[in-house]
Amino acid sequence: MTCYNFAAGPAMLPVEVIAQIKQDLPDYAHSGMSVMEISHRSALYKELYAETKANLLELMKLDQAEYDVLFLTGGATQQFTTIPLNLARKYHRIAVVDSGHWAQRAAEDAAKVPGLTVDIIASSKDNDYTAVPEIPTEFDQDYDYLHITTNNTIMGTAYRDDQIPKTDIPMVADMSSNFLGQEYDYSKFAVIYAGAQKNLAPAGLTVLVIRKDLLVKHDDLPGLFDFATEAKKESALNTPPVFQVYVAGLALKWLKEKGGVASIEAINQEKAKLLYDCLADSKNFESKVDPDSRSIMNVPFVSGDPDLDAEFVKEATAHQLLNLKGHRLVGGMRASIYNAMPLEGVQALCDFIKDFDAKH
């Protein structure tokens, strides 16, 4: 039986990408070495880096003259600190939209940067984060930037492009869990960052896309934390995660072959609709998320009975439907259906939900 991995992250990679890794692993590009062993100063890596960066910006429809890409380590979490260190320089005050757990974490970590004030300017806490809060466009304070989280991995909510305004102040987005999974007008953003392990590559790589006019060197920051220094050194101030960049490169080529972000979004919409429709028909399970805020990447669902939820996860696992246990903050189940999850995987889950309902 085919096995489907619904983990939120690290998440499944496309089977074609895994097959290519397997083929390349002993001898990368006739170098006689594995890609895990090549130098980050070699021409081979420089080529890989340049190609990966170009493909990424092409898929995002961003101009290399306007935007740069950094391949960093430390996870999306490190950016909760590094972004304010680099960008909150004039007013020492940032605005955060609180759409759930990761947005809160971003706000909490930023608040620890000395001298920085963090204002939560919108929140959906009062309705348990079952919808995304509207993003304000007018502010009664001066802010260095506005921080949003486009897809809320734990709550299962997301902003569509039409729910994201163009703002006068720079907008920074944590896109970790829907990076290149649905279309946005990426030019609305000053900075976009994403931990790669959700929708792109193995853990250990964080992609940061930044408007070039924001790359100003800050002499008071250690080089590793200074975006301008990292950009100048092509993300290789210290040893970069070469293997992860290589896998990201393969995933981006795979995405280009699929027709790009709009094409993968159409498939992702179809997968999500299948699952939400199946949950609407289910006698045991439901999605608690407001239909207008539904994520097409992470779909939490519950029965209301923790024992029945546990039984579901147990039986699903026996059917090779893996990692469906929900996040401890919301309980129940969560199906993460990123780019790499085929339609057949979601169909298998829906068939299983129907069988389970018939038995219980």
| Of 8 and 44, CB closest to ligand PLP | 8
User: For residues 101 and 129, what is the distance between their CA atoms, to the nearest angstrom?
Assistant: 9
List all residues 6 or more positions away from 236 whose beta carbon is below 8 Å from its beta carbon.
40, 41, 49
Q: Stretches 14-22, 124-132, 174-182, 287-295: which one binds ligand PLP (CB under 6 A)?
A: 174-182
**Which of the 8 DSSP states describes residue 320?**
T
Interface with ligand PLP in residues 306-325 (CB under 6 A): none
Q: Is residue 342 within 8 Å of 335, Cβ to Cβ?
A: no
In this chain, which of 84, 156, 195, 249 binds ligand PLP, going by CB under 6 A?
195
Query: CB under 6 A: which stretch of 71-79, 114-122, 212-220, 307-315 binds ligand PLP?
Result: 71-79
Q: Mind spelling out the 3-state secondary structure of 242-293?
A: HHHHHHHHHHHHHHHHCCCHHHHHHHHHHHHHHHHHHHHHCCCCECCCCHHH
User: Which stretch in 72-80, 183-191, 237-245, 282-290 sits in contact with ligand PLP by CB under 6 A?
Assistant: 72-80
Q: Does 153 bind ligand PLP (CB under 6 A)?
A: yes
Q: Which among 74-82, 241-249, 287-295, 329-337 is the span making contact with ligand PLP, rule CB under 6 A?
A: 74-82
What single string gives the DSSP state of each residue in 41-88? TSHHHHHHHHHHHHHHHHHTT--TTTEEEEEESSHHHHHHHHHHHHH-
Catalytic residue among 98, 102, 226, 271: 102
Distance of CA 338 to the CA centre of its chain: 9
Is 198 tagged catalytic? yes
Q: Which is nearer to ligand PLP, 208 or 255 (CB)?
A: 208
Active site residue 254: no
Angstrom CA distances, 338 to 135, 220, 273, stand at: 25, 39, 14
Q: Which residues line the annotated binding site?
A: 41, 76-77, 102, 153, 174, 197, 238-239
By CB under 6 A, residue 342 contacts ligand PLP: no
Among positions 86, 130, 149, 295, the unique one binding ligand PLP when judged by CB under 6 A: 149
Residue 321 parent element (H or E): strand 321-322
Reduced 3-state DSSP string for 184-214: CCHHHCCEEEEECCCCCCCCCCEEEEEEHHH
176 binding ligand PLP? (CB under 6 A): yes
Closest approach, Cβ 315 to ligand PLP, in A, equals 27
Shortest gap between Cβ of 150 and ligand PLP (angstroms)?
A: 8
Q: Please tell me whether residue 75 binds ligand PLP under the rule CB under 6 A.
A: yes
Pick from 20, 55, 77, 104 the residue near ligand PLP by CB under 6 A: 77
The residues annotated as belonging to the active site are 102, 174, 198
Please give the residue ranges that form the binding site for ligand PLP (CB under 6 A): 9, 75-77, 102, 149, 153, 174, 176-177, 195, 198
